[in-house]
Structure 1
Amino acid sequence: MTAPGDAARGPATAPVPGEGLDARLVVDRGAFRLDVTLTAAPGDVVALLGPNGAGKTTALRALAGLLPLTDGHLRLDGAALDRTPPESRPVGVVFQDYLLFPHLSALDNVAFGPRCRGAGKAEARARAAEWLDRMGLSEYAGVKPRRLSGGQAQRVALARALATRPRLLLLDEPLAALDARTRLEVRAQLRRHLARFEAVAVLVTHDPLDAMVLADRLVVVEDGRVVQEGIPSDIARHPRTDYIARLVGLNLYRGRAEGHTVRLDAGPAVTTTEDLTGPVFVAFPPGAVTLHRERPTGASARNLWRCEVAGLETHGDQIRADLTGELPLTADLTTVAAAELGLHPGTPVWAAVKAAQTHAYPA
């Protein structure tokens, strides 16, 4: 599986000492503690991904200077920013709700940033006009935010952030407020702009597709800690927590391998095609699971477990079955197959997975 961003953007660049972002963000907020290390080279787009409450927004606010660090450090292009006030940092921010000034035109919203950084009115407006042109919004220069669509407002907010020529661009759920159709179009536009951005960009999102399409590298945060990081395709192939597995649509288990057999920490053994020894993860997609009302005979599947349907829900054009029993798992099947099996909560079934459709890797 190759994530959409991998081939187009290429691998993330190794940071050069003194260039880009070098941060260890430690923030104590009551009982919650954030402790996250982030490094990125100029031109890199890093996505902070994680469940609600993981600490993504706290990290972004610390980078912007809106939250003080309890400990750690924050350096950008070799300059320490730990005690630099937000307005003096070479940082641009695009907020989830855009926060455009309602009384200003699109042009003056974009010009606001350069004006705050000391540019004269004529220079700021000229720079703003240039950025609106890049965003395909020249004809909306005199329009106020209430008359802009969600996608147009998002592009004005991005232009406002980029017009200050930041060395660090922070994007807080930049597509969350858009409807599905607009999101698709704006995501493609945002990807093009980020591909041309020469400094560091940090994207906060809970949407795996946004992260996979827009970022060179993913940093997954849970409970204030980094639990996994890497290029999108590696994380999609080798999830290391239940959250990541659910995010990329996999059943994930941990156990100990003895050749082609993995004895799970909680549950039965799983047969795999990989020959490994020691602690491993085993993963397989819900679509690899076949369900049967009676125990299949002569089946080619090496893995067979007695389960019970705990719940059913529509998942795209398929039905996703949540199963409990010998091995808790999820299975995807067509609506026709679900009807033929007569599935409903409480239905006993046999779940089968071929060894060739499992994937084992060191834990």
Structure 2
Amino acid sequence: MTLHARLVVTRPAFTLDIALDVRAGEVVALLGPNGAGKTTALRALAGLVALSKGEIVLDGHPLHTLAPEQRPIGMVFQNYLLFPHLSALDNVAFGPRCQGASKAEARRTAAALLERVGLADRAAARPRQLSGGQAQRVALARALAVRPELLLLDEPLAALDAHTRLEVRSELRRHLADFGGATVLVTHDPLDAMVLADRLVVIENGAIVQQGAPAEVARHPRTDYVARLVGLNLYRGVADGTRVKAGELLLHTSEHLDGAAFVAFPPAAVALYRSRPDGSPRNLWQARIDGIERHGDNVRVHLEGPVTAFADITPAAVADLDLTPGQTIWASVKATETHAYPA
């Protein structure tokens, strides 16, 4: 079931205006900073937020004219919203019962889905007796129980701890691969998006700023937000052969381009020196340390200068260089680590 949607939601201080196409069997992740419009888009698809303009068409049939309960949609909410007074089995059976199934038929459907998500032995448990991962799987089973043509997931892993998230993410990917309809997923977590989605749609300030396969978006970010998300330093400039003028800095790159271009390199590619290094690498500039923080197993150094940049170095290197905020140092990055692509 292919989804074609133009979603326009106008509010006093914000306008969402995006076009969205999702093929049958495809998982599309809406990614963006807080307030970008991701959840508004998802709720508009579900009919929980009214469109100011636009349309929602699924398999050639308009959905935007239908009430939420009439749309062939299954939804997993961020906090799951399971009915606290019902067992897991009856939570899942609720949708089929609303569609007219008999109690016995609805319970058979629910039991089969709980078995599918590995919770057959928790059918009698109420939500308060379930772990976070179990509650997420019950919510997914409940969404699938109505046999939806469109599956919507709002931050489905956000309520889980890090260990549970790892396990449930893998299971969710398997369940989504088995779903034959279109799936739209909202997340702020780049790892969730990269693992679960076939395609990313990045939204900022109510508009789509980039979309594509996860690997393509990661390799070629087109906004500062996406660059931070995938861990790259990103600049926009003008290319002339293998050189890109980005602000006050001229960067040598591994690609040959002409005209408007983006240039990017990972923080781990940035080398820091107390004094000007011998040999004068081609990409070399003076910078001031604006901040130093732990970043995983390394240390991230925030640099201000001709360009703002991040450098990831080891704790030992911080000690050897005796780095402190406010200090002026030299930074360099090899041309082979600096990649340019058309803007």
TM range (shorter): over 0.9
Deviations 1:40-69 (A, max 9, x none): 111000000000000000000000000111
Matched, 1:239 2:221: yes
Instruction: Give, in whole Å, the separation in 2 of the partners of 1:222 and 1:343.
Output: 35
1:259-274 aligned at under 5 Å gives the runs 259-264=241-246, 266-274=247-255
Q: Which position in structure 2 is the counterpart of 1:298?
A: 279
Mapped to 2, the partners of 1:99 and 1:90 lie a distance apart of 19
CA distance in 1, matches of 2:103, 2:254: 66
Q: Identify which of 32, 35, 39 aligns with 2:21.
A: 39
| One-letter amino acid of the structure 2 residue matched with residue 73 of structure 1 | E
Q: How many residues matched?
A: 343
Tell me by how many angstroms 1:327 deviates.
2.1
Q: How does 1:59-138 map to 2 (within 5 A)?
A: 59-138=41-120
Structure 1 Cα separation of the partners of residues 60 and 328 of structure 2: 61
Which SS does the other structure have where 1:361 is aligned? strand
**Equivalent in 264, 280, 286 of residue 261 of structure 2:** 280
Asked if 2 retains the 8 angstrom alpha-carbon contact of 1:288 and 1:354, the reply is yes
Q: Does 1:289 align with 2:274?
A: no
Asked if structure 2 preserves the Cα contact closer than 8 Å seen for 1:254 and 1:281, the reply is yes
Distance in 1 (alpha carbons) for counterparts of 2:282 and 2:95: 62
Candidates 303, 309, 312, aligned match of 1:332: 312
What is the CA distance between 1:326 and its match in structure 2?
2.1
1:173–1:203 contact (8 Å) kept in structure 2: yes
Q: Does 1:350 align with 2:327?
A: no
Q: Aligned partners of 1:47 and 1:170: how far apart in 2?
A: 10
SS for the counterpart of 2:221 is: coil
Query: Structure 1 residue runs of 4+, over 4 Å off?
Result: none
Q: Residues of 1 paired with 2:292 and 2:138: CA distance?
A: 42
Counterpart of 2:74, as a letter, is G
* Letter of the structure 2 residue corresponding to residue 316 of structure 1: G
C-alpha RMSD over aligned residues: 0.7
Alignment gaps of 5+ in structure 1:
1-18
TM-score normalised according to structure 2 size: 0.99
Q: Does 1:319 align with 2:303?
A: no
Residue by residue over 1:88-125, the C-alpha shift from the partner in whole angstroms, topping out at 9 and shown as x without a partner, is 10000000000000000000000001111111111100
Task: Tell me if the contact between 1:305 and 1:327 (Cα under 8 Å) persists in the aligned partners.
Answer: no
Query: Secondary structure in 2 aligned to 1:101?
Result: coil
